[in-house]
Structure 1
Protein backbone atom coordinates (compact mmCIF):
# COMPACT_ATOMS: atom_id res chain seq x y z
CA UNK A 1 0.00 0.00 0.00
CA UNK A 2 1.45 3.39 -1.00
CA UNK A 3 1.72 6.35 1.28
CA UNK A 4 -0.88 9.09 0.43
CA UNK A 5 1.71 11.77 1.18
CA UNK A 6 4.04 10.23 -1.37
CA UNK A 7 1.56 10.74 -4.19
CA UNK A 8 1.12 14.37 -3.12
CA UNK A 9 4.89 14.78 -3.08
CA UNK A 10 5.13 13.31 -6.58
CA UNK A 11 2.41 15.61 -7.85
CA UNK A 12 4.13 18.59 -6.22
CA UNK A 13 7.44 17.63 -7.84
CA UNK A 14 5.76 17.29 -11.24
CA UNK A 15 4.17 20.72 -10.79
CA UNK A 16 7.51 22.27 -9.84
CA UNK A 17 9.11 20.73 -12.94
CA UNK A 18 6.39 22.15 -15.18
CA UNK A 19 6.74 25.59 -13.58
CA UNK A 20 10.51 25.51 -14.05
CA UNK A 21 10.10 24.63 -17.73
CA UNK A 22 7.52 27.36 -18.16
CA UNK A 23 9.73 29.92 -16.41
CA UNK A 24 12.45 29.35 -19.00
CA UNK A 25 10.17 30.63 -21.73
CA UNK A 26 9.58 34.30 -22.42
CA UNK A 27 6.13 35.31 -21.23
CA UNK A 28 3.70 35.97 -24.04
CA UNK A 29 2.64 39.55 -24.56
CA UNK A 30 -0.99 40.41 -25.19
CA UNK A 31 -1.83 40.81 -28.86
CA UNK A 32 -2.37 44.56 -28.55
CA UNK A 33 1.20 45.16 -27.40
CA UNK A 34 2.72 43.39 -30.40
CA UNK A 35 1.63 45.84 -33.04
CA UNK A 36 -0.01 49.21 -33.07
CA UNK A 37 -1.71 50.34 -36.23
CA UNK A 38 -0.98 53.85 -37.45
CA UNK A 39 -4.57 54.85 -36.66
CA UNK A 40 -4.25 53.76 -33.05
CA UNK A 41 -1.03 55.71 -32.65
CA UNK A 42 -2.57 58.82 -34.22
CA UNK A 43 -5.65 58.68 -31.96
CA UNK A 44 -3.47 58.16 -28.91
CA UNK A 45 -1.45 61.27 -29.75
CA UNK A 46 -4.55 63.36 -30.47
CA UNK A 47 -6.12 62.31 -27.17
CA UNK A 48 -2.92 63.13 -25.28
CA UNK A 49 -2.80 66.61 -26.81
CA UNK A 50 -6.49 67.33 -26.21
CA UNK A 51 -6.26 66.03 -22.63
CA UNK A 52 -3.34 68.37 -21.91
CA UNK A 53 -5.26 71.31 -23.34
CA UNK A 54 -8.44 70.43 -21.44
CA UNK A 55 -6.65 70.06 -18.12
CA UNK A 56 -4.79 73.34 -18.65
CA UNK A 57 -8.06 75.07 -19.61
CA UNK A 58 -9.81 73.70 -16.53
CA UNK A 59 -7.07 74.75 -14.12
CA UNK A 60 -6.69 78.19 -15.71
CA UNK A 61 -10.43 78.86 -15.80
CA UNK A 62 -10.79 77.70 -12.20
CA UNK A 63 -7.99 79.96 -10.99
CA UNK A 64 -9.34 82.92 -12.95
CA UNK A 65 -12.79 82.44 -11.44
CA UNK A 66 -11.26 82.08 -7.99
CA UNK A 67 -9.12 85.23 -8.22
CA UNK A 68 -11.32 87.25 -10.57
CA UNK A 69 -8.59 87.70 -13.19
CA UNK A 70 -10.36 86.31 -16.20
CA UNK A 71 -7.94 85.81 -19.10
CA UNK A 72 -4.55 85.70 -17.37
CA UNK A 73 -4.43 82.21 -15.84
CA UNK A 74 -6.63 80.78 -18.59
CA UNK A 75 -4.15 81.72 -21.31
CA UNK A 76 -1.15 80.74 -19.20
CA UNK A 77 -2.44 77.29 -18.29
CA UNK A 78 -3.75 76.57 -21.79
CA UNK A 79 -0.20 77.18 -23.01
CA UNK A 80 1.17 74.94 -20.24
CA UNK A 81 -1.36 72.28 -21.22
CA UNK A 82 -0.33 72.57 -24.87
CA UNK A 83 3.33 72.19 -23.92
CA UNK A 84 2.56 69.19 -21.71
CA UNK A 85 0.46 67.56 -24.45
CA UNK A 86 3.22 68.02 -27.02
CA UNK A 87 5.77 66.63 -24.57
CA UNK A 88 3.68 63.50 -24.01
CA UNK A 89 3.14 63.14 -27.78
CA UNK A 90 6.90 63.28 -28.37
CA UNK A 91 7.49 60.71 -25.66
CA UNK A 92 4.93 58.43 -27.32
CA UNK A 93 6.62 58.89 -30.69
CA UNK A 94 9.99 57.97 -29.16
CA UNK A 95 8.43 54.93 -27.48
CA UNK A 96 6.93 53.73 -30.76
CA UNK A 97 10.23 54.41 -32.55
CA UNK A 98 12.07 52.23 -30.02
CA UNK A 99 9.84 49.26 -30.72
CA UNK A 100 7.39 49.85 -27.89
CA UNK A 101 9.95 50.17 -25.12
CA UNK A 102 10.26 53.35 -23.09
CA UNK A 103 13.67 55.04 -23.32
CA UNK A 104 15.98 54.34 -20.40
CA UNK A 105 15.58 56.82 -17.56
CA UNK A 106 12.06 57.75 -18.63
CA UNK A 107 8.77 56.23 -17.74
CA UNK A 108 10.00 54.42 -14.64
CA UNK A 109 9.53 55.45 -11.04
CA UNK A 110 13.08 54.57 -10.04
CA UNK A 111 14.67 57.16 -12.00
Structure 2
Protein backbone atom coordinates (compact mmCIF):
# COMPACT_ATOMS: atom_id res chain seq x y z
CA UNK A 1 0.00 0.00 0.00
CA UNK A 2 2.98 2.29 0.15
CA UNK A 3 2.67 2.58 -3.64
CA UNK A 4 -0.63 4.46 -3.24
CA UNK A 5 1.02 7.00 -0.96
CA UNK A 6 3.76 7.60 -3.52
CA UNK A 7 1.17 7.98 -6.24
CA UNK A 8 -0.81 10.54 -4.25
CA UNK A 9 2.38 12.43 -3.63
CA UNK A 10 3.18 12.36 -7.33
CA UNK A 11 -0.31 13.53 -8.30
CA UNK A 12 -0.07 16.41 -5.84
CA UNK A 13 3.35 17.42 -7.11
CA UNK A 14 2.18 17.15 -10.70
CA UNK A 15 -0.88 19.32 -10.02
CA UNK A 16 1.28 21.89 -8.24
CA UNK A 17 3.80 21.97 -11.12
CA UNK A 18 1.03 22.30 -13.71
CA UNK A 19 -0.53 25.14 -11.73
CA UNK A 20 2.73 27.04 -11.39
CA UNK A 21 3.52 26.59 -15.09
CA UNK A 22 0.03 27.68 -16.12
CA UNK A 23 -0.77 24.39 -17.85
CA UNK A 24 -4.02 23.74 -16.02
CA UNK A 25 -5.91 26.55 -17.73
CA UNK A 26 -8.54 25.59 -20.32
CA UNK A 27 -7.48 25.89 -23.94
CA UNK A 28 -9.21 28.76 -25.72
CA UNK A 29 -9.23 29.67 -29.34
CA UNK A 30 -7.61 33.03 -29.81
CA UNK A 31 -8.26 35.56 -32.52
CA UNK A 32 -5.34 34.26 -34.57
CA UNK A 33 -6.94 30.79 -34.71
CA UNK A 34 -10.18 32.27 -36.01
CA UNK A 35 -8.30 34.26 -38.64
CA UNK A 36 -6.43 31.13 -39.74
CA UNK A 37 -9.72 29.22 -39.98
CA UNK A 38 -11.34 31.93 -42.08
CA UNK A 39 -8.29 32.12 -44.34
CA UNK A 40 -8.41 28.37 -44.90
CA UNK A 41 -12.10 28.52 -45.77
CA UNK A 42 -11.48 31.45 -48.11
CA UNK A 43 -8.71 29.60 -49.94
CA UNK A 44 -10.76 26.39 -50.22
CA UNK A 45 -13.74 28.29 -51.62
CA UNK A 46 -11.53 30.10 -54.13
CA UNK A 47 -9.94 26.88 -55.35
CA UNK A 48 -13.30 25.15 -55.63
CA UNK A 49 -14.76 28.01 -57.64
CA UNK A 50 -11.73 28.07 -59.94
CA UNK A 51 -12.01 24.33 -60.59
CA UNK A 52 -15.75 24.39 -61.29
CA UNK A 53 -15.58 27.53 -63.42
CA UNK A 54 -12.82 26.07 -65.60
CA UNK A 55 -14.96 22.99 -66.22
CA UNK A 56 -18.09 25.03 -66.96
CA UNK A 57 -16.26 27.30 -69.39
CA UNK A 58 -14.77 24.30 -71.20
CA UNK A 59 -18.17 22.61 -71.50
CA UNK A 60 -19.80 25.80 -72.79
CA UNK A 61 -17.06 26.30 -75.39
CA UNK A 62 -17.34 22.65 -76.45
CA UNK A 63 -21.12 22.90 -76.65
CA UNK A 64 -20.86 26.05 -78.79
CA UNK A 65 -18.37 24.48 -81.15
CA UNK A 66 -20.56 21.37 -81.40
CA UNK A 67 -23.52 23.54 -82.42
CA UNK A 68 -21.37 25.40 -84.92
CA UNK A 69 -19.92 22.30 -86.57
CA UNK A 70 -22.92 19.93 -85.99
CA UNK A 71 -20.75 17.37 -84.22
CA UNK A 72 -22.72 16.93 -81.00
CA UNK A 73 -21.41 15.85 -78.39
CA UNK A 74 -17.86 15.05 -79.49
CA UNK A 75 -16.17 18.43 -79.13
CA UNK A 76 -17.82 19.00 -75.76
CA UNK A 77 -16.59 15.60 -74.58
CA UNK A 78 -13.11 16.48 -75.82
CA UNK A 79 -13.17 19.80 -73.94
CA UNK A 80 -14.07 18.27 -70.54
CA UNK A 81 -10.52 16.96 -69.90
CA UNK A 82 -9.15 20.27 -71.18
CA UNK A 83 -11.30 22.12 -68.63
CA UNK A 84 -10.30 19.72 -65.86
CA UNK A 85 -6.63 20.20 -66.72
CA UNK A 86 -7.04 23.98 -66.74
CA UNK A 87 -8.79 23.87 -63.36
CA UNK A 88 -6.10 21.67 -61.84
CA UNK A 89 -3.42 23.93 -63.27
CA UNK A 90 -5.05 26.91 -61.59
CA UNK A 91 -5.25 25.04 -58.29
CA UNK A 92 -1.61 23.96 -58.43
CA UNK A 93 -0.53 27.45 -59.42
CA UNK A 94 -2.49 28.99 -56.54
CA UNK A 95 -1.05 26.54 -54.01
CA UNK A 96 2.50 26.60 -55.34
CA UNK A 97 5.50 28.48 -54.01
CA UNK A 98 5.24 32.23 -54.05
CA UNK A 99 1.46 32.31 -53.73
CA UNK A 100 0.28 34.66 -51.03
CA UNK A 101 -3.21 33.17 -50.76
Q: Give the TM-score range, shorter chain.
A: 0.5 to 0.7
Structure 2: which 5+ runs fail to align? 1-35
Q: Paired residue for 1:71?
A: 73
Structure 1 53/38 Cα, relative in aligned 2: closer, same or farther at 3 Å? Answer: same
**TM-score w.r.t. length of structure 1:** 0.53
| Structure exhibiting the larger radius of gyration computed from Cα positions | 2
Task: List structure 1 segments (4+ residues) > 4 angstroms apart after TM superposition.
Answer: none
**TM-score w.r.t. length of structure 2:** 0.59
RMSD value over aligned CA atoms?
A: 1.9
Identify the structure with bigger relative contact order (alpha carbons < 8 Å, sequence gap 6+): 2
Note the alpha carbon deviations across 1:75-106, whole angstroms, 9 max, x for none.
111110110000000011115xx4618xxxxx
In the alignment of these two chains, the number of paired residues is 65
